[in-house]
Chain A
């Protein structure tokens, strides 16, 4: 794999911070783990760049990347919307799966891509994640998942809803095999993804300030008639309410994951 980070480091291009909307150089973003030098917000990381930050050099081996363009209920406008996402992201779907080494430990990893239709979960995303758990069971490997999502992909109707069950029971099977599952919730993780595999890890961490919840803020405000505090559904809110184990900054995540892996032996699928 050619280094995405290396390329961006020498890029002359500018990107726009998704929070403050200021123009920042790509090279500067790469040096700062995609944290905006202007407003210090955690900007979104392209999944292949994320994998490079986290994993040992050249250790990532992509799996389940077959190009499947599912439109199971022929929902009007879906094909066009997805085609635009595919073109923009250069990816075939909203999740990237594979195996890699982190601090020398072999692991399965998946990273969701919020640039791809808001990382919503349709049948292909569900199939890739369930397949990764099944692969991890066969190979006796841990799974590390980076979640991000707007929720279930409504353009695939009830079939997308069923992916919540599919991924959750695959996670359960992996757990019943005695294997380790670590989740990192990134901005934003909402709806059907929060309400399925994303909150089923043995250890669940989140990035600072990430939006994490089930129902959207506007829906809750309409329902309760009151304005919610700014911190509502933030990673810090979820830590306070006992939903996550901790908040880990980007620069520390590789070491954190390495430490957690190191505390689990081969019996639980962790192999150096």
Chain B
């Protein structure tokens, strides 16, 4: 376990190409997985992997953004920057999970939603909004694990859940520190300092009540044995959490989820 590293060093670790990606997690924590493609409207977004699988025998729906490891994979995965089709595929699969009472597991690792002209033309903002709107009231347990980058609205739209867990070196932020430094201080070089200001690390989010659990990570993601051990431990944690959430009535679950978000910056009592 690493300690005493700066927020910006964590941002760099979160972006490292050797880090486990969604595909690695799916392989590591599910017994079986069947990928399901497409938003049934326009296309299939290669930046978002979704499908059904089992975890310790329990059927679940898994959705996550995938960056890929090398340049070829990263290009094919559009660097994990989800497009409207990715968010709409996720919505379709979440609705399907609700229908069949399957818990939903999100893996978040995204720099930000696709900032392209086509994404705007196909309503990226509406696609994100729709997911926030729907996921808050989905009648099945939902768990999010931020495994790398939690980049703004693009991450948010694949992370509304009953609980959010974060890897110890992941980040979750309203804006990338470089962009924030550039906009507010006109100096992108101040990113490291701004990363501290933004309070974007796992302990920060845990302190705000946004993140429930911080997951210790292997010191080296290229160490196969360490990663295998990490994945099998995580698998047990996820299965236990879903088993626990499944015991709660869905009505209570949805009410609690509403309250969780409602409490973040609450000043008014009606």
Q: Does B266 contact A (CB under 8 A)?
A: yes
Stretch at the interface among B31-39, B43-51, B92-100, B169-177: B169-177
Taking a contact as CB atoms under 8 Å apart, the answer to whether A123 and B270 are in contact is: no
Q: Does B115 contact A (CB under 8 A)?
A: yes
The dominant DSSP class at the A interface is helix
The number of chain B residues with a CB under 8 A from chain A is 50
Besides A158-B173, A226-B117, 12 other CB < 8 A contacts?
A131-B268, A152-B152, A154-B183, A159-B210, A168-B136, A169-B132, A169-B262, A173-B137, A195-B126, A197-B129, A215-B120, A241-B123
Asked if A191 meets B153 with Cβ closer than 8 Å, knowing A220-B117, A220-B120, the reply is yes
Q: Does A66 contact B (CB under 8 A)?
A: yes
The dominant DSSP class at the B interface is helix
How close is A164's CB to chain B, nearest CB, in angstroms?
6
Q: Does A82 contact B (CB under 8 A)?
A: no
Checking B115, B264, B270 against A215 with a beta-carbon cut-off of 8 angstroms, the contacting residue is: B115
A195 to B153, CA, bound (A): 7
Taking a contact as CB atoms under 8 Å apart, the answer to whether A241 and B115 are in contact is: no
Asked if A159 meets B208 with Cβ closer than 8 Å, knowing A166-B264, A169-B137, the reply is yes
Taking a contact as CB atoms under 8 Å apart, the answer to whether A243 and B126 are in contact is: yes
Taking a contact as CB atoms under 8 Å apart, the answer to whether B264 and A199 are in contact is: no
Question: B198 — nearest CB in chain A belongs to which residue?
Answer: A157
Query: Which residues of B line the A interface, CB within 8 A?
Result: 113, 115-117, 119-126, 128-130, 132-134, 136-137, 152-153, 156-157, 160, 172-175, 180, 183-184, 197-200, 204-205, 208, 210, 257-258, 261-262, 264-268, 270
Chain B residues lying within 8 Å of A154, measured Cβ to Cβ, are 174-175, 180, 183-184, 198
A138 to B257, CA, bound (A): 20
A49 to B49, CA, bound (A): 48
Taking a contact as CB atoms under 8 Å apart, the answer to whether B137 and A194 are in contact is: no
Chain A residues lying within 8 Å of B173, measured Cβ to Cβ, are 157-158, 161
Asked if A195 meets B129 with Cβ closer than 8 Å, knowing A157-B198, A215-B120, the reply is yes
Question: A138 — nearest CB in chain B belongs to which residue?
Answer: B270
Q: Does A205 contact B (CB under 8 A)?
A: no
Question: A162 — nearest CB in chain B belongs to which residue?
Answer: B264
> Of residues 173 to 220 in A, which have CB atoms within 8 Å of B's CB atoms?
173, 176, 191-192, 194-200, 213-215, 219-220
